[in-house]
Structure 1
Amino acid sequence: MKFLLILINIYLLVKCDNNVDIPSQSVNRTVVPYNTIVGYASTNVEAYSNGNDSQTTTEYNSLYGIFMGIKWQCVEYARRWLFIRKGCVFDSIDGAADIWTQIDYVQRVDNKKCFSVKKYSNGSPNPPRNESLLIYNRSGIALPFGHVAIIVDVLSNSIRVAEENYDSYLWIGNYSREIPYKYLNGNYYIEDKYPIAGWISIIDYNQTKPLDQYTINNIIKLNGTSPDFICSNNSIYHFISFYSYLIFIFVLLKNYYM
């Protein structure tokens, strides 16, 4: 049992990328300590520093009793941004890259209303959309579980994103990085060092809104328990992926100690 707990802790610590070296524009090189705010996006969604490459934690973050994720991972920020700005959350996933393949709906927390999502592959004829989730694929040692950021602004030839666990630098504005994109042969390509799956937009028909005090009070009445995620069920994917990972770690450790 103790060995299994060790494997689970290892799994949790590497679910998201750890301070990956993705090139960016307009970066402030002021390093911020762990658990310190690095900036704000979309008016009121703060992002926290995850420290440095050696910083690991198994602490969880909740907001108004609703689970957000592991501090201060990219998935935690994406879920918290979605919660604060749209009152919705997405289901549990094993890594940031799995949002692309496993998340087809988000759910409003206070009444369980479901909203579908629209996925635009990198190289889509549709331009990047503001308030979309930008999903990175898994990519070797640098991005073993991918990465996710929030597109908070779309300019004529670049996007601005907000995120956690990319680096520990203080933001220079209301975004963490500016990433170029190009329009080529009728398609839009966001250009970064590591492969991008695409961006995901919430199809809400203007029915979602930022949290207000009335909604917060209703959520608090849930007594600190997240409602069941009824919009979709990726538990089978989660189960298979989780235990496949445990088997991989077990074989790795077994070979190491033999």
Structure 2
Amino acid sequence: MTFDSDRPRRWSPLPIPAVVLIAVSLLVGTLLLIDGRPAPSTPAVERLPHTDGAERLAPPPVGEALSLERFQAARRACDGPCVTDFGMPLGRSNGVEARSNCVSTCVRLESSFVDPDSGQIQVARSGERPDQLEYAGLAYQCVEYARRWWIQTLGLTFGDVPKAADILSLTEGRRLSDQAVIPLGRSLNGHARRAPERGDLVIYAADHNDPEWRAGHVAVVVDTDIEQGWVALAEQNYDNRPWIDPEHYARRIRIVRVGERYSLLDVAPNQVENPEGGAIAGWVYPRVD
């Protein structure tokens, strides 16, 4: 339920006018289909390296571009009414604060930057770059929180993605301390032999027929209990409500194991359904071996 179309400045330093052009073209160009061509499709993840469960995966559907009309609707959604006022704290995990995006369909052309040491956040207009701060994403989308959690907790970041669902196709991240490239792996939901672990990014698939899920979603795993059958998530812009446990996690979802394969379900452990939930595609993590 987020876009992430502004580029991390330290990955690709550009003059401010060029960065502005990129931000606008990505949000109102590549994604918005201004020239009538389809947006580039995400590479089929079963062909990517370090993919857990690829031998059981069916090819994913081709993505759909966001129309200009839909983008304008996303801008209007920011006018409210909000579930929780934009920018208000919802909770924190490992000291990383989550804030409200008003409603899940809201998209603002403002970027968030974070001090990796203090966690201080600064929001700037797209194209601006505060010195000595690390780019996090469009404020306060789900990708922004996931990237900020990695920055503050793991000392890692990851690159630009058009939408949250595309994180599943990333093959590398970056370590902040020495700028080293860190390979990323992925486990495919329902096919994976590796269970999600703390710090993994849970990726929701994009549903082009549902305005709430057109970009997918990403959340951070902050705790797991495989025996009890739950995974705790920290996130932004899922429902923009205060977290269930405001000092630890936003919510818990089910995990089940069938044979040696793991599946995550967007359903609370004490529930049997979630009418507003999404489809989980898999989880992404830095490879340490």
Report the TM-score, using the length of structure 2 for normalisation.
0.59
1:186 to 260, 278, 284: 260
Shift of 1:53: 5.0
Assess if the C-alpha contact under 8 Å between 1:136 and 1:194 holds in 2.
yes
- Counterpart Cα distance in 1 of 2:26 and 2:161: 18
* Match in the other structure for 2:87: 35
Runs (5+) with no aligned partner, structure 1: 19-30, 206-258
Identity of aligned residues (%): 30
Q: What SS does the corresponding residue of 1:85 show, helix, strand or coil?
A: helix
- Counterpart Cα distance in 2 of 1:184 and 1:168: 32
Q: What SS does the corresponding residue of 2:164 show, helix, strand or coil?
A: coil
- Counterpart Cα distance in 1 of 2:26 and 2:187: 35
Structure 1 residues 180 and 67, CA, compared in 2 at 3 Å: closer, same or farther? same
Structure 1 residues 9 and 168, CA, compared in 2 at 3 Å: closer, same or farther? same
* Match in the other structure for 2:158: 90
1:57 aligns with 2:108: yes
| 1:203 alignment partner AA | R
Shift of 1:7: 8.4
Shift of 1:52: 2.4
Instruction: Give deviations 1:210-248, integer Å, cap 9, x for gaps.
Output: xxxxxxxxxxxxxxxxxxxxxxxxxxxxxxxxxxxxxxx
Assess if the C-alpha contact under 8 Å between 1:9 and 1:58 holds in 2.
no
Runs (5+) with no aligned partner, structure 2: 1-22, 33-65, 75-82, 116-132, 267-276
* Match in the other structure for 2:218: 148
Q: What SS does the corresponding residue of 1:38 show, helix, strand or coil?
A: strand
| 1:179 alignment partner AA | I
Structure 1 residues 8 and 183, CA, compared in 2 at 3 Å: closer, same or farther? closer
Shift of 1:163: 0.7
* Match in the other structure for 1:240: none
Deviation above 4 Å: which 4+ runs of structure 1? Answer: 4-7, 9-15
Correspondence list, 1:151-230, <5 A: 151-155=221-225, 156=227, 157-173=229-245, 174-192=248-266, 193-204=277-288
Assess if the C-alpha contact under 8 Å between 2:202 and 2:218 holds in 1.
yes
Report the TM-score, using the length of structure 1 for normalisation.
0.65
Shift of 1:36: 0.8
Greater helix fraction, Structure 1 or Structure 2: 1
The one of the two structures with greater contact order (alpha-carbon pairs below 8 A, sep at least 6) is 1
Correspondence list, 1:52-131, <5 A: 52-53=103-104, 55-64=106-115, 65-101=133-169, 103-123=170-190, 124-131=192-199
Assess if the C-alpha contact under 8 Å between 2:187 and 2:283 holds in 1.
yes
Shift of 1:172: 2.6
Structure 1 residues 119 and 7, CA, compared in 2 at 3 Å: closer, same or farther? closer
| 1:126 alignment partner AA | R
Shift of 1:56: 3.7
- Counterpart Cα distance in 2 of 1:75 and 1:162: 12
- Counterpart Cα distance in 1 of 2:218 and 2:262: 19
